[in-house]
Chains A and B, each alone.
Chain A
């Protein structure tokens, strides 16, 4: 079974999962906050936030990657800040791949969560307040559970985007085996090597399988939530 893919491909697969997992996990709270602000907020600059969040969706990925390089490269202002504050380096590391994946997946994630937040009847949140619930308790016990299908969908989209991100990743952190060479980058490399095509096809099948499993899992979880409420 392990012969089916070479060690480099296994590494790429494992790296992709790691990148997609961390990209989604770390961006999820920010995604929820942005979605909440866009769905409920009535503040100056809301439209600007909306544009900023959606920019990675419409900008050429290469441009996003280049901007990341400028900002989060070792000599970039944000790159230096993160290195000094947390000892976190993005340039040419898997963390950079995760950052690129997070930025590229962000608009999709925010959109899914925002839609589910907008579908919540704010009246039940008012009802919770009259029953003595603080804003924090309302968020924890009413808003988050009711938005759960959307959050789940957003997370799945984030993971899927993270697994498949190519343009911004390769521009920002290059294509370093074992460090930044994710599944997508690996397939691209294999296609350029003579005789690499069968392996590329296998990797493609693996990524299709992962995507399908993720979709099925999210469907099942979401259905379980709605079924329980309808029973």
Chain B
């Protein structure tokens, strides 16, 4: 368990954040300039703070200089050593698990090259490998994908997911991309203007209508977890979730494997009656558990479906016309095609 409590005043901005991160991926989520990077720089010891208490499994680390903290740090811009080959870069912090790291990250063809000849995605993979080979006790990832374009992102993301599934150390994953967070993280700490606005399991926080203002209207949406049932002949995959069966486009994992599907709140349609003669494939019977009126024309509706939770964003006008209130039984309708492949992992 990593415990973090840091405070520092900047000009016109105060950072004051306290949170915990168990083994696994904890996302540090927030808009640009909210202080996410400052937080993990403080954790790594790269940022001097007015107050810093950082402990790992009960051992206080805040007094140690950065090089004694044993934290792997992957920077947004990779920061490879330009005068060293990839292999020398990798070995700089140690040679822990060298063969496995090189194999898993697909680096064997790059070892003799210099960083200037690598693509952005390759650089980021090397940076990740370099951090891993130093056998860190904590891994800090500072928007490792944000400098990459779509295809390069898709190239690195599977490596990060493999890493998440294989390591048992706390990983802090800084991101402002909710899609990435929903795929990667099991816990989330939402940072707003230097403070912790919300923290908890990703599923709980994302299904909480109170989170919508912090997460952003377009990024809001709950995560459903379930098991893959199988791929149908017409190219749709059936996933059995706590909320019921869900059809999603494309092939997703093997039958029986674990799947997470992010359902963007703005893609959920609510209906009083069971819809019929309709193209949308996924209709879930749900109960309204909370209504949160926003500042604009929208209403965030929290939905309980079996043991799972969903979030819908509808207009105030619809809400009033349908006379929605807490405890109402309604139907949530999801277009299968509204679920993007990047929302499934």
Residues in chain A within 8 A of chain B (CB atoms)? 121, 123-124, 126-135, 141-142, 145-146, 225, 228-231
Contact = CB atoms under 8 A, between A and B. Distances in A.
Q: For the complex, would chain A's binding face be called helix, strand, loop or mixed by DSSP majority?
A: helix
A126 B71 CA distance: 12
B79 A133 contact: no
Contacts of B94: 131-132
Nearest to A230: B116
Interface string B35-73: 000000000111000000000000000000111111111
Given A229-B83, A230-B116, A127 B75 contact: yes
Interface string B59-102: 00000011111111101010111110000000011100000000
Given A145-B83, A146-B83, A229-B83, A126 B66 contact: yes
Contact of B71 (A130, A142, A145, A228): A130
A135 B45 CA distance: 14
Interface residues of B, number: 30
A228 B44 contact: no
Interface in B257-271: none
Contacts of A130: 44, 46, 66-67, 69, 71-73, 93, 131, 140
B81 A229 contact: no
B134 interface: yes
Q: Is the interface of B mostly helix, strand, loop or mixed?
A: loop
A228 B66 contact: no
B114 interface: yes
B79 A126 contact: yes
Given A141-B92, A229-B83, A231-B116, 19 more contacts: A123-B75, A123-B79, A126-B46, A127-B81, A128-B92, A129-B67, A130-B46, A130-B67, A130-B71, A130-B93, A131-B92, A131-B130, A132-B93, A132-B94, A133-B67, A225-B83, A228-B83, A230-B114, A230-B116
A126 B40 CA distance: 13
Contacts of A134: 67
Nearest to A146: B83
Contacts of B116: 229-231
Contacts of B279: none
B117 interface: yes
Contacts of B66: 126, 129-130
Contacts of B67: 129-135
A52 to B, nearest CB: 30
B46 A129 contact: yes
A147 to B, nearest CB: 10
Nearest to B41: A126
A228 B81 contact: no
Contact of A131 (B45, B82, B93, B140): B93
A173 to B, nearest CB: 41
Nearest to B135: A132
A121 to B, nearest CB: 7
A127 B45 CA distance: 12
Contacts of B83: 145-146, 225, 228-229
A135 B130 CA distance: 19
B138 to A, nearest CB: 10
Contact of B81 (A124, A132, A135, A230): A124
Given A130-B71, A132-B134, A231 B117 contact: yes
Nearest to B94: A132
A127 B114 contact: no
